């Protein structure tokens, strides 16, 4: 067990705590824990890369922790009415589609390697930024000066485009 893996497991443990804080509308705590989780993601990656602590376990658990946090936050924010349901559905649907495609590939003995693409990284950044904004808006009254709808549209567009890019790659892989 490496230090980055311990940090990642800590991030996974934070997920249900952040969800409870959102559900109880303890916005400042939810926002703070979300920021801690984000910092922990950067720190575990830095340590893994720069101190030769990469591991196969880490390669699997890190994206699982990231997705667990993001999907859970979007669903929780939608449940309490802090973001529109349609946005959470788009975010969750993309990840469900990717997981289903990977599982189907394994079942069909045609495993596909999922590598992050630039569009996916932009999507994740937009999703994280908007989740942070939604938490900050409730915790501190932060506002995007009327740009909330534009930000939501950007998240939705990047999420759908990323889903399409992964689906296209998967279809090419399965057809070859």
> b/e map of 145-155 (b: 16 or more CB within 10 Å)?
eeebeebbebb
On whether the CB atoms of residues 91 and 74 are closer than 8 A, the answer is yes
Give the pLDDT confidence score for residue 83 in this predicted structure: 97
Quick count: other Cβ atoms within 10 Å of Cβ 7? 20
The answer to whether the pTM exceeds 0.85 is: yes
Return d(Cα 69, Cα 18) in angstroms, integer.
Answer: 8
List pLDDT tens digits, range 90-135: 999 999 999 999 999 999 999 998 788 999 999 999 999 999 999 9
pLDDT at 145 exceeding the cut of 90: no
Which CATH number does the domain 3-175 belong to among 3.40.50.1970, 3.30.230.10, 1.20.120.1760, 1.10.510.10? 1.20.120.1760
Domain boundaries, the chain: 3-175
């Amino acid at each position: 067990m490496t230090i980055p893996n311990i940090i990642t497991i800590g991030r996974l443990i934070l997920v249900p705590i952040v969800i409870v804080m959102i559900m109880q509308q303890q916005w400042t705590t939810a926002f703070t824990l979300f920021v801690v989780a984000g910092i922990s993601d950067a720190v575990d990656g830095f340590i893994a890369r720069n101190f030769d602590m990469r591991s196969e376990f880490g390669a699997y658990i890190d994206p699982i922790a990231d997705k667990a946090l993001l999907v859970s936050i979007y669903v929780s924010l939608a449940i309490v009415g802090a973001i529109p349901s349609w946005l959470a559905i788009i975010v969750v649907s993309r990840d469900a589609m990717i997981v289903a495609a990977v599982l189907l590939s394994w079942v069909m003995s045609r495993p596909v390697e999922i590598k992050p693409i630039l569009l996916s990284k932009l999507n994740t950044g937009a999703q994280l930024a908007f989740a942070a904004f939604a938490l900050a808006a409730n915790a501190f009254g932060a506002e995007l000066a009327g740009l909330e709808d534009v930000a939501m549209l950007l998240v939705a567009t990047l999420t759908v485009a990323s889903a399409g890019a992964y689906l296209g790659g998967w279809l090419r892989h399965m057809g070859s």
